[in-house]
Amino acid sequence: MKYTTCLILGLFNFWRKDLLLDSKKPPAARRTFATLNKHIMARSKRSQAFLQFGLFCGILLFANILASAFYTHLDLTEEKRFTLTRPTRELLKGLKDRIYVQVLLEGEFPAGFKRLQTATRDMLNDFRAVSGYIDYQFDDPNQGTLEDVNERRKALAEQGIVPVNLRVADQGQRSQRLIYPVAVVHYGNRRVVVKLLENESPSLNPEVVINNSVSLLEYKFANAIKKILTPERLPILFTKGHGELDRLQTSDLERTLNQFYDTDRITLDSLVQLRPQDCALLIVAKPLTEFSEKDKFKIDQYLMQGGRVLWLIDRLNADLDSMRHTGHFVPSDYPLNLEDMLFKYGARIQPDLVLDLECSRIPLATGQMGNAPQMELFPWYYHPTVLPTGNHPIVKNLDRVELRFCSSIDTIRTKTPVKKTRLLTSSRYSRLQFSPIDLNFEILRYDPDPAKFDKGMQTVGLLLEGIFPSNYENRVSAEMQAGLQQLGLTFRAESEPTRMLVISDGDVAANFVRDAAKKEWLPLGYNRFENSTYANKDLMLNAIEYLIDPTGVIEARTKEVKLRLLDTVKAKKEQVLWRVLNIGVPLVFLGVFGWFFNWRRKRRYAL
């Protein structure tokens, strides 16, 4: 219809031009046609305007329908914060059934925490854009009557979900609110709880805590989906028989691992061979006695087949409880007989202790109040609280980790290509004490002299990746070769590409045991003296996941969201200027544009 109307108007326009230009027509006829032409021109412009407006509305409606059906965006950020990593996209594309995510983040929050809420919704939209099997819903646990809220909180507490009191600074003002920064991923009858908020450390700015939490959203959701979909439970084995940490000391770590892995203890003497198919990761956690050559050979050949090992080694037998009885203690070397193996693989734990001004505190009696001693907390330099600063997935955005009587680690050149990455280091205010050492509390009587803590950052956690040479290369006799052949085994002098992690503190994976008889223990990383929690557990979980599968969704931990904070002092000082620029300038521009538009319209259409 609209095309027919345009054709008729076009033909009539051609005809009226002929009438107007025909000088043989009488003046009265030409005036009549001129008047008619003016009306037709006005009507034609109105028709074109209505047609253009209708076409614009149609395009706008179509664009909205298309946008509601497809979610996409163009990531122009420098750090590509809105682009999912390749392992995450592959994981989502492989979904075959519905996954439901319940986010307990609905409601009104402070400005800083609102950012985490928005980022969580955007991340789930990104997930749903890749896979239509992702569904989510935001719920407010604090909505309803007081009885409903209390009942809901009790039910959440039974599931291990507890609220936090978030403190957010905005323009110099602090606000607090009891919230649940938690999401629950459901798949069939399985569920995984995702903690959206990182550990709120007093040493970090609240905006930094929120920023770290936003940076890890993709990793946390992808990791939860991966674990909830994985039917196979890989075995993780702890060695025993050499005084290693017992089950009670690793209860918190194993309880978390048992959600997705099978953990157990093995005695190397009872095995003929240890294979990667039977052990996804071997953990040597704080051994105290000597390893026999047979046990070392089994670990070596397990590594040569591509096995992964987590070494948590104490070089010296320093212990705080031993000092409390006598006030001093002289630690000695543990006779582990592992030095040659680690040396061959590229690491050497030195017989020293690392002292750091950035450390945790211990209670000491400073006086007597009645019949009870008066206790006070003092910084204990032998318990460094290291803050990882690297970009490696294991330690990216990780809070401080508490170590106890750790030693420095040197890197050694290896025969085969081995990549060495320093994951944990002390602060630049560190010093070393070499064995023999007389440990005592006299060091706390005086204020520390920073000039003596001048040894810089000391390596206390080292990741080794690559092809490792065997510790028994050129050491296997013909008789031993024949014995291996009878057992159907083959000696390997060089490993498959694999990896191991060496940490010079066995207690990094040990939770405090409150009562061994009642099997009561505190969470891993919890410091009972300071009433604070360090990131020891997160470090262990990240390390275990990376050692088992370095190409998985843990790659998302390396994503960085740069925090560009507003200079509040400068903003208050120049607030009038910026208000004028943000409010006055647009109004002036709008006035100038309106005047110019009316002037041009009058000039163009004036008769």
- pLDDT of res. 423: 94
Please give the Cα distance from 138 to 160 (Å, whole number): 19
User: pLDDT at residue 203 above 80?
Assistant: no
- pLDDT of res. 586: 87
User: pLDDT at residue 405 above 90?
Assistant: yes
- For the chain, what percentages of helix, strand and coil (3-state, to nearest 5) are there? 40, 25, 40
User: pLDDT at residue 20 above 70?
Assistant: no
132 contacts 69 by C-beta, under 8 angstroms:
no
Summarised one tens digit per residue, pLDDT across range 512-562 is 998 888 888 898 999 989 888 898 998 999 999 999 987 677 766 666 555
- pLDDT of res. 312: 96
Residue type, 56: F
Whole-number Cα distances in Å, 44 to 21, 38, 274: 20, 10, 89
- Closest to 210 measured CA to CA, from 115, 124, 121, 123: 115
284 — phi, psi (to 5°)?
A: -105, 100
Summarised one tens digit per residue, pLDDT across range 462-519 is 999 999 999 998 888 777 888 888 878 888 999 999 999 999 999 999 999 988 888 8
Report percent pLDDT > 90 for the chain: 35
Summarised one tens digit per residue, pLDDT across range 112-131 is 678 888 889 999 998 998 88
User: pLDDT at residue 171 above 70?
Assistant: no
User: pLDDT at residue 360 above 90?
Assistant: yes
CATH number of the domain at 86-227, please?
Answer: 3.40.30
Residue type, 391: N
- pLDDT of res. 156: 83
Please give the Cα distance from 209 to 113 (Å, whole number): 10
- pLDDT of res. 30: 55
User: pLDDT at residue 240 above 90?
Assistant: yes
Of 310 and 129, more confident: 310
Cα angle: 429, vertex 418, 236; to 5 degrees: 85
Summarised one tens digit per residue, pLDDT across range 551-599 is 677 766 666 555 455 556 677 778 888 888 888 888 888 888 888 888 8
Of 19-23, 266-270, 373-377, 442-446, which one has max mean pLDDT? 266-270
SS3 373: strand
Model confidence band, residue 338 (pLDDT cutoffs 50, 70, 90): very high
Please give the Cα distance from 338 to 392 (Å, whole number): 27
Summarised one tens digit per residue, pLDDT across range 247-266 is 999 999 999 898 889 999 99
Please give the Cα distance from 409 to 422 (Å, whole number): 9
- pLDDT of res. 12: 46
- pLDDT of res. 9: 44
- pLDDT of res. 14: 45
| Rounded average pLDDT over 71-98 | 75
180 contacts 152 by C-beta, under 8 angstroms:
no
SS3 165: strand
| Rounded average pLDDT over 163-173 | 62
Task: Share the mean pLDDT of the chain.
Answer: 82
User: pLDDT at residue 221 above 60?
Assistant: yes
Summarised one tens digit per residue, pLDDT across range 47-56 is 777 777 777 7
SS3 402: strand
Summarised one tens digit per residue, pLDDT across range 377-403 is 889 999 999 988 888 889 987 889 999
350 contacts 323 by C-beta, under 8 angstroms:
no
CB under 8 Å to 130, separation ≥6 — which residues? 84, 89, 92, 93
- Strand-pairing partners, residue 187, are 190
CB under 8 Å to 87, separation ≥6 — which residues? 222, 551, 552, 553, 555, 556
Of 164 and 118, more confident: 118
Of 338 and 151, more confident: 338
| Rounded average pLDDT over 19-34 | 54
Cα angle: 243, vertex 247, 253; to 5 degrees: 115
Please give the Cα distance from 131 to 374 (Å, whole number): 61
CB under 8 Å to 346, separation ≥6 — which residues? 411, 412, 413, 414, 418, 420, 464, 468
- pLDDT of res. 544: 94
- pLDDT of res. 371: 73
- Spell 86-99 as b/e; 16+ CB within 10 A means b: ebbbebbeebeeeb
* Count, residues in the chain: 607
Please give the Cα distance from 370 to 361 (Å, whole number): 25
Query: Range with the lowest mean pLDDT among 204-218, 264-278, 347-361?
Result: 204-218
Segments making up each domain of the chain, as ranges: 2-69, 86-227, 232-534, 569-605
- pLDDT of res. 151: 85
- pLDDT of res. 532: 87
- pLDDT of res. 236: 95
User: pLDDT at residue 18 above 60?
Assistant: no
| Rounded average pLDDT over 284-304 | 94
Summarised one tens digit per residue, pLDDT across range 411-453 is 999 999 999 999 999 999 999 999 888 888 888 888 888 888 9
